[in-house]
Structure 1
């Protein structure tokens, strides 16, 4: 454990954007999922929501270069429940979906609380998802292909969101509560200790300046 590693992790958490999230509906190919999570980490998206028929939601570490583990993935039983969760948290849901009401993705104000809805690799966003979304966005294309790979589309749109948020100064100050940053640092640096604390109902330990656990003396 080094102070440099602790500093890098804390800096990462201080750039997280809690009101910018992603919702994946039936995106089940591991390489696509991993690539999307890698982009989420890169732009500061702390959480991805996932709806999948597959019980095992697998992340390819090779494709995500290990970054998939830094993004929380919350699973949902169905799409309406997932969308209600996101909208209930005050975020608008924008579906990457070609329709008569779709707008250029660059025309959306991504500095506002929002969540990007991405559909399955072949089918795209479902009719149900398109109906429940607050808006539709498209990436203008001038070639013969009808669409981009879902992970590529996610990267294009999320980096536009990052560009807008950088210009608005949303990365300049931490947007996560300090208590959440400390809790997450323990989970990232000491996952086994964090799991043990959760199982035993005990608070997480404090960390020293190098990221090592500060053990408190046992009380009789």
Structure 2
């Protein structure tokens, strides 16, 4: 590895936000799944979370993509899958239990009576953005468990954006708020965690993964 490449890896890791993440609840189309990971990398998400589309969801055959098991991603992700960790949860309840134990507020991208403009949320807090399946959106269980619902105001005829586009819009608002708050100004990981992630990234880079 060249010194320049190592410096680039360190510069990226210096900006990683361990307290900003997404939870993809049964997002089953590989191009959407991969595009969300690409946006995560772009704003400095350290690790994303996903619930595979395996339980009681229409189009189950399509949902069996290996992309949802954290093993392969299509070309849409570029190299994002190398740099964004992915934790798979067996179901919605266990995913929420894990995130809550880590102190995350969960903001569901979900239209409801209690939904607020996505720009009104405070993303400087430890935040997980919940994104639902392409056709049906966030499940009733996840909507109920979420701390708040956010929506992206639409001025046209369509009622919503593609899930990966919506993820990008919300993530970049989170980035904007965090930049203003100075949360990208210095490394956010502990020295031990930083060293662990750096070693992992260097090894993956060396293996060409």
TM-score past 0.5 threshold: yes
Contact 1:76 1:82 in 2 (8 A): yes
Determine if the alignment matches structure 1 residue 80 to structure 2 residue 100. no
Structure 1 segments of 4 or more deviating over 6 A?
Answer: none
Which residue number corresponds to residue 18 of structure 2?
A: 18
Which has the greater radius of gyration? 1
Contact 1:61 1:68 in 2 (8 A): no
Which residue number corresponds to residue 66 of structure 1?
A: 79
Would the alpha carbon gap of residues 193 and 8 (structure 1) be closer, same or farther in structure 2, given more than 3 Å must change? closer
Determine if the alignment matches structure 1 residue 178 to structure 2 residue 178. no
Alignment partners' CA distance in 2, 1:97 and 1:24: 13
Alignment partners' CA distance in 2, 1:108 and 1:46: 21
Alignment partners' CA distance in 2, 1:38 and 1:192: 17
The correspondence for 1:127, drawn from 119, 127, 140, is 140
Contact 2:82 2:204 in 1 (8 A): no
Alignment partners' CA distance in 1, 2:203 and 2:156: 48
Determine if the alignment matches structure 1 residue 158 to structure 2 residue 171. yes
Alignment partners' CA distance in 2, 1:19 and 1:162: 12
Alignment partners' CA distance in 2, 1:146 and 1:41: 27
Determine if the alignment matches structure 1 residue 189 to structure 2 residue 202. yes
SS in 2 for 1:60: coil
Alignment partners' CA distance in 1, 2:79 and 2:44: 15
Contact 2:131 2:138 in 1 (8 A): yes
The correspondence for 1:146, drawn from 159, 163, 167, is 159
TM-score, structure 1 length as denominator? 0.84
TM-score, structure 2 length as denominator? 0.89
Alignment partners' CA distance in 2, 1:13 and 1:192: 14
Which residue number corresponds to residue 5 of structure 1?
A: 5
1:122-173 C-alpha deviation (Å, 9 max, x unpaired): 1000111100000000000011111100000000000000000000000001
Unaligned runs of 5+ in 1: 195-220
Alignment partners' CA distance in 2, 1:114 and 1:164: 12
SS in 2 for 1:81: helix
1:106-133 C-alpha deviation (Å, 9 max, x unpaired): 0001001110000001100011110000
SS in 1 for 2:86: strand
Alignment partners' CA distance in 1, 2:134 and 2:206: 38
SS in 2 for 1:190: helix
Alignment partners' CA distance in 2, 1:29 and 1:193: 30
Contact 1:18 1:175 in 2 (8 A): yes
Contact 2:30 2:74 in 1 (8 A): no
Which residue number corresponds to residue 43 of structure 2?
A: 43
Alignment partners' CA distance in 2, 1:29 and 1:181: 32
